[in-house]
Amino acid sequence: MLKVGVIGAGAMGKNHIRIYSEMPGVELAGIADIDRELVKELAEQYGTRAFTDYREMLAMGLDAVSIVVPTKMHRQVATEAIEAKAHVLVEKPIADTVENADAIIKAAAASNRLLMVGHIERFNPAVIKLKEIIEEGLLGKIVSISTTRVGPYNPRIRDVGVILDIGVHDIDIISYLYGKQVNQVYAVAGADIHSFEDHATIHMRLDHEFSGLVDVNWLTPHKVRKLTAVGVGGVAYLDYLNQTVELHDSGWVRKAKIENREPLRNELEYFIDCIRNGTQPKPCGTDGKHALKVSLAAINSYKEAKLIEITE
């Protein structure tokens, strides 16, 4: 039985708590959050212990923790969890700065702990299917991937702008589907209803040859989450929300057979399996760091109105 804890009981943290509580072979050993009433209520609901200081929970000797706190706290909480000998899943983005991402990665390596970054869309059944389709060559060589991730502003997002909050999802997915890293970024963005940017169009070049385009905003009154992958042999249209993939070529329109499933459940089950099997999880810390670097480069690009080169 693996003893698991969740640090951070906000909107996303509650989902981690719910899924761990339902997972066979896993004991939800504790929940930590600074909101005393909230964490007490959740602990009673799920039959576990409540903590307002996550360090007290870590002292229990947990096997693993999910870290679902504001991005600026990721380095502090993740490194302390690793020092307490817990395997760590930290929600995206891995950190607020590349320096802090490096610190988390180095801490995990030094302590021989598994580190996974919660880029949840990799576990969306539609993305899993599209990755298989691309690798099977059904679309031929992929030359362009574009995404639209737009919708109304969520007032709970105050510490980052739209690029680091939701744009990072598609930055990671485009790199993942190509199997290549981004080497150039140019972005146009602005802040009209938020203290950080609330709309952005990000153009990326991967491996000096392939194109990625990310369109994000908090201005559209309805939620849209879609991706288009163009290959020399056809095009694929993916809907993240409905978990569908359609393939169009010169002769056919085909809809992929996909079994809908909650992406977070897929992600957490995979994380637990990695711990049990001693396998390195993906996306790992390095993957999370790359998505962060590209996101920060996009922010610098729109602020400085110039193309940004990305080097590893």
Task: Give tens-digit pLDDT for 215-257.
Answer: 999 999 999 999 999 999 999 999 999 999 999 999 999 999 9
Judge if 12 and 91 occupy the same domain: yes
Instruction: Give residue 83's pLDDT.
Output: 98
Do 150 and 233 sit in the same domain of this protein? Answer: yes
- The pLDDT score that the predictor gives to residue 308 is 98
Do 80 and 227 fall into the same domain?
A: no
> pLDDT band at 149, cuts 50/70/90?
very high
Beta strands across the sheet bearing 64-67: 49-51, 26-32, 2-7, 64-67, 87-91, 115-118
Q: Which domain holds residue 25?
A: 2-113
Using CA atoms, how far apart are residues 239 and 260, in angstroms rounded to an integer? 12
Against a cut of 0.85, is the pTM above it?
Answer: yes
Domain shared by 179 and 301, yes or no = yes
Res 156: pLDDT: 77
Calpha distance 16→65 (Å, rounded): 10
Residue 279 maps to a domain = no
Do 108 and 194 reside in the same domain of the chain?
A: no
Among left, alpha and beta (phi > 0; psi -120 to 50; other), residue 14 is alpha
Per-residue pLDDT reduced to its tens digit, 75-106: 999 999 999 999 999 999 999 999 999 999 99
What DSSP letter does each residue of 75-94 carry, written as one string?
HHHHHHHHHTT-EEEEESSS
- In this prediction, residue 157 has a pLDDT band, given cuts at 50, 70 and 90, of confident
Residues 165, 166, 171, 177, CA torsion sign: positive
Contact 135/108 with Cβ under 8 angstroms? Answer: no
Report if residue 58 sits inside a domain.
yes
Cβ pair 85, 113 in contact under 8 A? yes
Do 88 and 140 lie in one domain? The reply is no
Give residue-wise pLDDT tens across range 12-30: 999 999 999 999 999 999 9
The reported pLDDT for the residue numbered 215 is: 98
Classify burial at 40, counting beta carbons within 10 Å of its beta carbon; exposed 0-12, middle 13-18, buried 19 or more: middle
How far CA 41 is from CA of 14, 33, 158, 196, 270, in Å, comes to: 11, 11, 25, 33, 28
Q: Does residue 247 sit within a domain?
A: yes
| Structural domain contains residue 287 | no
Q: What single-letter DSSP state applies at residue 258?
A: -
| Residue 191 domain flag | yes
Please state the domain count of the chain.
2
d(CA 19, CA 13): 10
Q: Is residue 273 part of a domain?
A: no
Q: Running DSSP on this structure, what letter comes out for residue 119?
A: -
What percent of the chain stands above pLDDT 90? Answer: 95
Quote the tokens at residue 205: 């070049």
256 and 186 in a common domain: yes
pLDDT for 66 beyond 80 = yes
- CATH number at 12 reads 3.40.50.720
Summarize pLDDT for 189-210 with one digit per residue, the tens: 999 988 899 999 999 999 988 9
Residue 274 lies inside a defined structural domain of this protein: no
State whether 99 and 139 are in the same domain.
no
The predicted structure's pLDDT at residue 223? 97
pLDDT of residue 158 exceeding 80, the answer is no
Q: What is the CATH number of the domain that holds 242?
A: 3.30.360.10
Last residue of a domain, one of 80, 113, 146: 113
Q: Are residues 127 and 101 in the same domain?
A: no
Boundary-marking domain end, from 91, 113, 135:
113
Task: Give yes or no: residues 40 and 79 share one domain.
Answer: yes
Check residue 3 and give its pLDDT.
Answer: 98
Q: Annotate 132-198 with DSSP letters as a single string.
A: HHHHTTTT-SEEEEEEEEEEE--TT--SS-HIIIIIHHHHHHHHHHHT--EEEEEEEEE-SSSSS--
pLDDT band at 119 (very low <50, low <70, confident <90, very high): very high
Asked, for residue 284, whether it belongs to a domain, the answer is no
Check if the beta carbon of residue 108 is closer than 8 Å to that of residue 114: yes
Q: To the nearest whole number, what is the mean pLDDT of the chain? A: 97
Residue that terminates a domain, selected from 113, 144, 174: 113
Whether residues 102 and 219 fall in one domain: no
Query: With contact defined as beta carbons under 8 Å apart, do 23 and 272 qualify?
Result: yes
177 & 87 share domain: no
pLDDT at 120 over 80: yes
What is the gyration radius of the CA atoms in the chain, in angstroms? 20
Q: Are 149 and 174 in contact (CB under 8 A)?
A: no
